[in-house]
Structure formats: structure tokens, C-alpha cells
Amino acid sequence: MSTPIDISEAAGVRYLHFGSDWIQGAMRIRKPNALELAYTREMMAGLLLRDGLAEDAGQWPKKVLIIGLGAASLAKFAYHHRPQARIRVVEIAPSVVAAARQFFKLPPEDARFSVHLGCGAQYVLEKDQAFDYILVDGYDRNARAGALDTLPFYQAVRARLSAQGLMAVNLFGRSKGYKASVERIITAFDGRAIAFPSCDSGNVVAFAAAGEAIERPIAELRERAQALKSATGLDLRPTVARLEEAGNLPGGRLLL
């Protein structure tokens, strides 16, 4: 698939575009492994929900699947801050991979990091592998997700999740129809899904769980967000505050 690539820079940040003004990824040049865009930070909130902190035994996740490479933000964060994890990225456009290598410091492939060229939906449907964390962020130049926003795809993702499995989906570009996307996710996961309140960019990140139940009191989420910031620089305290303000935590607990 031919994807037109444009690179721009402003105020110390390098941006990826797919032949339009839409921002498809970003990297602060002096902090190449940080998550520059708010929605990418939010997609890593699984570290608050599962046992993903330094003090947690085993330090989740061990196997990560990222669908949609973009500027490699999620891939780089996972690679540098979760050295125990094996990470597979699936990207349909060779030009995106080339741009990530040239402009966005994509890590070299090694025993724990690899890039697969192909369709993310097809990969999930055909590969019989289990992952702890599946992050879905695949769009074309018109911000369309295509097969990555269908009930069969979400059902296939659920079947690929481990007993500690969690899916995060960026619903950017579907502001008018994101509720239909959330309904598909809820259906696929038998109700074990939550859409976080939209962040400043208008992105809505949805999470869905398989396997072991998740129950985190809001006070614990705040503590875990502080510990995560201290360990990695990733600040999810605003995310926790928005969850609390939105009033969608029954009994002051996040249940998933």
C-alpha cells in the first residue's frame, strides 16, 4: 500500500503526516522516547490497570502487539520502559516503516522487537498467538480505520488476549461515530469495556479486558499514576482526574 509521507517540525517537535495536515504521529526531538501526543499517553494507561509498575511481580506486559506504527511512539515507549516485553508491530505501509526509521528513531529489530508488514486485521485473524497488551492505532490518510473497527476484528482481538490481556484502541477520527465503535467493543468483550473521557485533542481511547477481572479504587489509580510518572516520566494523573470527574467510576472504582 502506497502511503504519502510528509514530515514537519515546529517548536522542537517533529510531526508525521500522511499527505495531509492531519497529525499521524509526533516526537519531541530532545525526548525521542517520550509520548508527545496526549492520546498516546492515554493508550499506555493499561499500566495503571494491570500489574505494570516496577514494584509489581512479573511487571506486565510480557507480550505486546501494536497495530499501526505511525511515528513509533508507542513502540519506543514500550521498548525502552518495558525491557522484559517482546513487542511485535504490524504496519501495512512500508513507507511508514521507512519514515519511522529515518525520522523517528524506530528501534532496530532484535530478539524482542520486530516489525511485520501487513494488514493488522488479517494478522490478528490468522495468527494464533496470545498477547498481554494489544494496542490498536491504525488509520489511513483520511483517518479511516476500516477493518480495524469491526465487530469480527474486536472479537478476534479478544481471542488473542492472554489471561492478563488488555486491548487499547484509539478512536481518533470517529468523533461523530465513536459511540458505535464503543458499542462494537462492548459487544465483542461482553461488556468488559470502557471509553475514557476524550482528551484535549478529541481522541477517545477505549479499553477492553479479557481474563482476570480488574478492580482499582480511584485512590489506588492516583497512587499508581504517581509511581508510573516517577519511574518513566509518563504522567497519567490528568487521565485519572478526568475519569473521576466524568463520574463513570461506580463506587469510586474502575471495574473492567
Q: What is the dihedral of CA 196, 44, 256, 152, to 10 degrees?
A: 90
> Using DSSP, how many helices (H) and how many strands (E) does the chain show?
9, 12
**Which cell goes with 25?**
504521529
Whole-angstrom distance, CA of residue 236 vs CA of residue 226:
8
Whole-angstrom distance, CA of residue 171 vs CA of residue 99:
23
Whole-angstrom distance, CA of residue 176 vs CA of residue 163:
33
Whole-angstrom distance, CA of residue 196 vs CA of residue 246:
9
Neighbour-count burial of 211, counting CB atoms closer than 10 A to its CB (0-12 exposed, 13-18 middle, 19+ buried)? middle
Residue (of 152, 75, 158, 165) closest to 112 by Cα position: 75
From 128, 137, 149, 200, active-site residue: 137
Active site residue 128: no
Peptide bond into 61 cis (omega under 30): yes
Within 10 A of 240 (CB to CB), how many other CB atoms are there?
A: 24
Active-site residue list: 137
